[in-house]
Amino acid sequence: MLVVLFISGCVSRRNPDLKTTEVQDLQNRIYELQKRNAEAQVEIQELREKGASGSNSGTSGPTSPAPAPGTAQNAEAQEEALIPGATVDLGEEGPTRSVQPLSPPSSTPASPAGSAVSPSPQPGVPAGVEPDKLYVDGYAQLNSGNFARAQQEFAEFLARSPESDLADDAQYWIGECLFSQKDYRRAILEFRRVIDQYPFGNRVPHAFLKVGLSYLALGDRNRAAESLETVVQAFPKSEVATVAQATLDEIKKSSPH
Residue from 239, 170, 157, 155 nearest 201 by CA: 170
Domain ranges of the chain: 10-56+65-101+180-254
How far is Cα of residue 140 from the mean position of the Cα atoms in its chain?
Answer: 14
Strand ranges inside the chain, DSSP E: 89-91, 94-96
- Rounded distance between C-alpha atoms, residue 257 and residue 252, angstroms: 9
From first to last of its 257 residues, what are the pLDDT tens digits of the chain? Answer: 444 433 333 433 344 444 455 555 665 666 566 666 666 666 666 666 655 555 554 444 433 333 333 333 333 333 333 333 333 333 333 333 333 333 333 333 333 333 333 344 444 455 556 878 999 999 998 888 889 899 899 999 999 999 999 999 999 999 999 898 899 999 999 999 999 999 999 999 999 999 999 999 999 999 999 999 999 999 999 999 999 999 999 999 987 76
CATH architecture of 10-56+65-101+180-254: Alpha Horseshoe (1.25)
Q: What is the pTM of this model?
A: 0.57
